[in-house]
Amino acid sequence: MKILVTGAKGFVGRNLCAQLNNIKDGKVRCYGDLKIDEVFEYDLDSTREQFEIWCKECDFVFNLAGVNRPKDTDEFMKGNFGFATILLDTLKKYGNACPVMLSSSQQASLTGRFGNSEYGRSKKAGEDLFLEYGKETGTMVLVYRFPNLYGKWCRPNYNSAVATFCNNIANDLPITVNDPSVELELLYIDDLVDEMIHALKGEEHHCEFEGLDVIPSTEGRYCFCPITHKVTLGEIVDLLHQFAEMPKTLMIPEIPADSFAKRLYSTFLSYLPREKAIFDLKMNVDNRGSFTELIHTLNCGQVSINISKPGIIKGEHWHNTKWEQFIVVSGHGLIQLRKEGSDEVLNYEVSGEKIQSVIMLPGYTHNIINLSDTEDLVTVMYCNEIFNPNKPDTFFDPVDKKEK
């Protein structure tokens, strides 16, 4: 299959082409037997000759080209409706009846706050043109009305509030929120790309619209992505400020699977300047080695890394409720546990040559010993709760009392 993507260097186009090329190169296999032979990436720097050849040879068209912020409002109709006309005329010229997808906008509904939108009128004209083309030629036409889009590579200070907020907060620039209660319907770029690739397989989602409301319908004239999130501006900004504080607090906010927060966090990180992609951690250093907390979580504890110098013993304490996992990743060590009130010692010899996880059981005093005379012992440590100095739940008691 040969795919033509117009507007290939725009926000949606870049993300779509990246995934299409991943499929073409065999890097993605989650779409079953979908095979892609060529991805024709058309944009402003493409030649007319290339455009003609690609329209002649393609098996599917994603028309993402359009005008969003022209200097003159007249350019809306020229850029959005005019190019659509050229594209369809060129396909007809070569008798190419391949399926075509049109990226439209909620503004094409011309309802509510979009009732007098020149941009919306140009998008509506493009929709009508494509739908009429489908009736005339019998071609499969897929018209998607996008809500607000966000994700990596979206241009800030252009037409996405989320991109602007992410960029400005990541770069310590001011933002303006006139009304935090304003709600946006947001579509994440990876969800959109996934829907578009399913459309290649004839698995698109159809609908009708009542104003801005999507009415799913297998017979609908329009198409939509079923995964969107409705979030207020205030909620977005609050989350972004939490994300920005992570290098100071080490706190990873709650980002459940399939949540808006998870998508927004990835988006925010894509706007970090290079100097913020690295940050110092507080190392607690003494003559035994070091202990450094790596990350905290709201409900699932923390992860740390412990470095023990040769011959050093660390630990020698127990917990009532707290539990830990020790994973030696470098060096050679011995982990010992003894149930409080018992003399039996459990010995676990561990090494970075065979990575294993040893659980520090509640009610068992435990230690970790570097058995090497020359090498540091490096251990990743997970604890099910963040250390609370007011309630440490940590009680000193040597594992082997005879050795103390």
Given pLDDT bands bounded at 50, 70 and 90, which one contains residue 385? very high
CA 13 to chain centre: 17
- pLDDT of the residue at 109: 82
Is 215 contained in some domain? no
pLDDT tens for 222-235 read 999 999 999 999 99
Answer with the one of 128, 146, 164 that is the final residue of a domain. 146
Is 323 contained in some domain? yes
CATH code of 291's domain: 2.60.120.10
Given pLDDT bands bounded at 50, 70 and 90, which one contains residue 203? very high
Model pTM score: 0.90
Q: Are strands 357-360 and 302-308 parallel, antiparallel or unpaired?
A: unpaired
pLDDT tens for 289-330 read 999 999 999 999 999 999 999 999 999 999 999 999 999 999
Answer with the one of 146, 178, 202 that is the final residue of a domain. 146
CATH code of 60's domain: 3.40.50.720
What is the average pLDDT value for the chain, to the nearest integer? 93
- pLDDT of the residue at 229: 97
Is 207 contained in some domain? no
- pLDDT of the residue at 78: 56
Three-state secondary structure call for residue 365: strand
Confirm if 78 and 67 have CB atoms less than 8 A apart: yes
Is 163 contained in some domain? no
Residue 72 token pair: 């003159």
- pLDDT of the residue at 107: 85
Is 151 contained in some domain? no
% of the chain beyond a pLDDT of 70: 95
Answer with the one of 115, 146, 177 that is the final residue of a domain. 146
Given pLDDT bands bounded at 50, 70 and 90, which one contains residue 124? confident
Is 216 contained in some domain? no
Q: Which domain holds residue 368?
A: 283-403
CB-based contacts of 136: which residues, under 8 Å, 6+ apart? none
Q: Are strands 141-146 and 100-105 parallel, antiparallel or unpaired?
A: parallel
Query: What is the count of structural domains for the chain?
Result: 2
- pLDDT of the residue at 267: 98
Confirm if 333 and 378 have CB atoms less than 8 A apart: no
pLDDT tens for 44-94 read 999 999 999 999 999 999 999 875 544 555 554 555 577 889 999 999 999
pLDDT tens for 355-376 read 999 999 999 999 999 999 999 9
Catalytic residue positions, numbered? 119
- pLDDT of the residue at 70: 47
Residue 247 token pair: 């290098």
- pLDDT of the residue at 215: 95
Is 289 contained in some domain? yes
